[in-house]
């Protein structure tokens, strides 16, 4: 099954809450289609120097999501936690 279809199914099954964000991690060529389904408030995290990263960098204007590349598990965890913290802070009301 196309992961892009799964993204669409998940997006249609959740409320239209503007605070909902996707963080998509990938490294393979099959992760490109779902990356194209992400919006401007979403994030894509391609593994540097892997097929997804190469495809994104070959034509970055096709990707609407904010791109955060990573190289190893430590960097992945650091970026992912930072993004989650940012999303949580943005979702708080005062």
Q: Is 2 helix (H, G, I), strand (E, B) or coil?
A: coil
Residue 88 is predicted with a pLDDT of 87
| Residue 8 pLDDT | 87
Instruction: Compute and round to an integer the Cα radius of gyration of the chain.
Output: 13
82: left (phi over 0), alpha (psi -120 to 50) or beta: alpha
H-run or E-run covering 9:
helix 3-13
pLDDT attached to residue 12: 85
Domain definitions of the chain by residue range: 20-91
pLDDT along the chain (94 residues), means of 10: 86 76 94 94 97 96 97 97 90 51
């Amino acid at each position: 099954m196309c992961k892009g279809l799964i993204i669409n199914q998940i997006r249609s099954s959740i409320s239209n809450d503007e605070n909902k964000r996707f963080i998509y991690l990938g490294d393979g060529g099959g992760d490109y289609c779902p990356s194209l389904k992400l919006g401007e408030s979403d994030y894509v995290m391609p593994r540097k120097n892997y097929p997804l990263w190469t495809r994104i960098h070959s034509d970055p204007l096709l990707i609407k999501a904010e791109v955060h590349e990573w190289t190893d598990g430590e960097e992945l965890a650091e970026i992912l936690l930072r993004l989650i913290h940012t999303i949580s802070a943005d979702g708080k009301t005062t």
